[in-house]
Amino acid sequence: VYSTELYRTGFHFQPQKNWMNDPNGMIKYMGYYHLFYQYNPDGPKWGNINWGHAVSKDLVHWHHINQSALAPGPDWYDIYGVWSGSSTLLPDGTPAILYTGWSNISTSTQAQTQNLAVPLNASDPLLRDWVKSPSNPIMNPGKGFNTQNFRDPTEGWIGADGQWRVLIGGTMLKGKGGTAHLYKSRNFVNWTYVQDLHSVNYTGMWECPDFYPVAMEGRDGLDVSTNTVKVKHVLKASTRNHDYYTVGTYDSVLDTFVADDPELEVGFGMRYDYGKFYASKSFFDKSTSRRILFGWVSESDSDADAITKGWSGLQSLPRQVWLDPDTGMDLVQAPVEEVDGLHRDQVFKFNFTLPAGSVMAIEGVHGPQLDIQLEFNKPDMPMNLLFNGTDATSLVGQEVCANGTSHNGLYGPFGVLVLAEKDLLEQTGVFFYLTLAYDGTWKAIVCSDESRSSMQTDVDKASYGTYVRVLESDQYLTLRTLVDHSIVETFAQGGRAVITSRVYPTMALNNDAYFFLFNNGTQDIKVQSLNAWRMEAAPPDEMEPKV
Ligand code: DQQ
């Protein structure tokens, strides 16, 4: 009935074929954005991990470099795989890669090794060839480290004493949880373990830590070494299947990090994304003063499907990330504005009612690649400003979001049905649901519900949801949903909460994919505005850029 080719995306990054997982070492260098990623050149399942590589001028149109930046071996220290890591721009302006090697020594102190690679020719803007350092491996695990859980170096930053620092993900020496081991170096080649920057009990191992400053005002990103009074630090770890972050204060003399709110510690508090999104990494784009984030969005179909498709894994849209100026507590994300350059055929409607119990077809724009932006008038009632962290998310997902589109409350569910077949036999619901709290205030939940997304039975159809903070000063409840064949990426309330879903419709494909607004609550909802566009595809550029 359907072709698996149809699940390939039009404007999300993916290799031509095969397996992809974590984004690695993004950097802007000599006018090109470089995206590296965990890649299996041999097939659509994880294994034989290389660093795949692509370049772009605008973060939207990519050119695949037809060779790996890094491949396993021939030396012992990374012979079974070149795992995740980061790039750092050194003071002379050249980049260096730090990455984890999976060595041929499985149990000793050198199971996972940290390694350095530099460009063969730093005057090549495409940075095609990389040379591994003769000093590899360049970091030794500290005493008592679990050497199977010692990986994923961050970008290097410079602390108060002028020395380099990086974090390596690991497990706590005492306790049961994840940690970020801090290493220091004067020359980027010889590194010593100093202490753990931060650990949290009862989380899993911390994979792919990310650590960076954010400004307390405005959206501009900061270079990783910035640490002034008007700066907070974000620490992110990938653990227990999700990317958790916390905002806090970094002391670059003592090398300590303290979370602002201990209730929102890494692994328990806030997440970049309440759907599928893992092993993300950010980088600072100096040319536009932005901090930009990519995350790995894995498949929800079966291994057999991966083999039929010949590929597995997407990158999220590149997202700009900044500290929420209105709360000072959490991050806000938005697709980088270059994505807007793909907008075509706009539909605009404003100031209309979405009656209780209605489904409204939207004429003018349809298809599998859309950007849908909605502003709803806030119902006139007290909103709860508190955010409960993520404790309730699985509950929210199951109890509210999965029943969402068919279940009726007072205010909601209301929102949009995307990748919908014309008779709604298939649909992915993205919506708000407002719930009355014990204290008489209302809390907003945002959901992305895959439960009716496909007639296929062997794909995972999770329902994701989270509470999202709505401030008194917020004029509207907002949703922005980007649809791209098999991915639905939603930015709610101006990007305060993000949810990514993977769906595999069998009928709501290509020209047969529609979208509808709906309101299953018992109260009418006023829509302030609807803006929707078809998204032009951004196929990879076959031609190697002339440099
Ligand atoms: N993926 C890499 C590891 C990392 C994990 C291996 C996270 O370095 O910890 O492909 O997805």
Domain boundaries, the chain: 16-335, 342-535
Pocket of ligand 1 (CB under 6 A): 21-22, 38, 49, 83-84, 100, 151-152, 207-208, 238, 278-279
Q: What is the pLDDT of residue 329?
A: 86
Q: Which residue has a Cα nearest atom 7 of ligand 1? A: 279
Element at 247 (helix H, strand E) = strand 242-251
DSSP assignment letter at 384: P
Q: Which of 19, 22, 70, 154 to mutate to test the pocket of ligand 1 (most atoms within 8 A of CB)?
A: 22
Q: What is the pLDDT of residue 439?
A: 79
Q: What number is the average pLDDT over the span 229-258?
A: 96
pLDDT at 440 over 90: no
Q: What is the pLDDT of residue 268?
A: 87
Q: Is 22 a catalytic residue?
A: yes
Q: How far apart are CA 428 and CA 447, in angstroms?
A: 10
- The string of pLDDT tens digits covering residues 271-322 is 999 999 999 999 999 999 999 999 999 999 999 999 999 999 999 999 999 9
Atom nearest to 85 CA in ligand 1: 8
Question: Which residue from 266, 308, 272, 251 is spatially nearest to 45, judged by alpha carbons?
Answer: 308
Q: How many C-beta atoms surround the C-beta of residue 82 within 10 A?
A: 30
Distances (CA, A) of 485 to 49, 107, 136, 216, 514: 27, 43, 42, 37, 12
Q: Is 260 exposed, middle or buried (0-12, 13-18, 19+ CB in 10 A)?
A: middle
Please tell me whether the interface predicted TM-score (ipTM) of this complex is above 0.90.
yes
- Longest Cα pair distance anywhere in the chain, in angstroms? 69
Of all residues in the chain, what percent carry a pLDDT higher than 70? 96
Atom nearest to 49 CA in ligand 1: 10
Element at 304 (helix H, strand E) = helix 303-309
Q: What is the pLDDT of residue 403?
A: 66
CATH class of 342-535: mainly beta
Q: Compute the distance from residue 239 Cα to the ligand 1 centre, in Å.
A: 11
Token pair, residue 198, equals 């931060």
Q: How far apart are CA 230 and CA 404, in angstroms?
A: 41
- The string of pLDDT tens digits covering residues 148-185 is 999 999 999 999 999 999 999 999 998 899 999 999 99
**Torsional sign, CA 504, 506, 508, 512:** positive
Q: What is the pLDDT of residue 35?
A: 98
DSSP of 510-544 = GGG-EEEEEE-SSS-EEEEEEEEEEEPP-PPP-SP
Encode burial over 501-512: b for 16+ CB neighbours within 10 A, e otherwise.
Answer: bbbbbbbbbeeb
Quote the strand ranges of 406-521, DSSP E.
414-420, 428-436, 442-449, 463-468, 476-484, 487-492, 497-502, 514-519
Q: How confident is the model at residue 437 (pLDDT cuts 50, 70, 90)?
A: confident
Q: Which residue has a Cα nearest atom 11 of ligand 1? A: 279
Is 291 in contact with 299 (CB distance < 8 Å)? no
Q: How confident is the model at residue 443 (pLDDT cuts 50, 70, 90)?
A: confident
Atom nearest to 83 CA in ligand 1: 8
Top-confidence residue, 388 or 369? 369
Q: What is the pLDDT of residue 386?
A: 58
Atom nearest to 238 CA in ligand 1: 7
Q: Compute the distance from residue 22 Cα to the ligand 1 centre, in Å.
A: 7
CATH 2.115.10.20 is the classification of domain 16-335: yes
Give the range with max mean pLDDT: 130-134, 327-331, 541-545.
130-134
- The string of pLDDT tens digits covering residues 344-363 is 999 999 999 999 999 999 99
Query: Which residue matches tokens 């984004």?
Result: 23
Question: Which pTM was predicted?
Answer: 0.96
Average pLDDT over the chain reads: 94
Top-confidence residue, 215 or 408? 215
Q: Which of 84, 210, 314 to mutate to test the pocket of ligand 1 (most atoms within 8 A of CB)?
A: 84
Q: Compute the distance from residue 205 Cα to the ligand 1 centre, in Å.
A: 11
Q: How confident is the model at residue 2 (pLDDT cuts 50, 70, 90)?
A: low
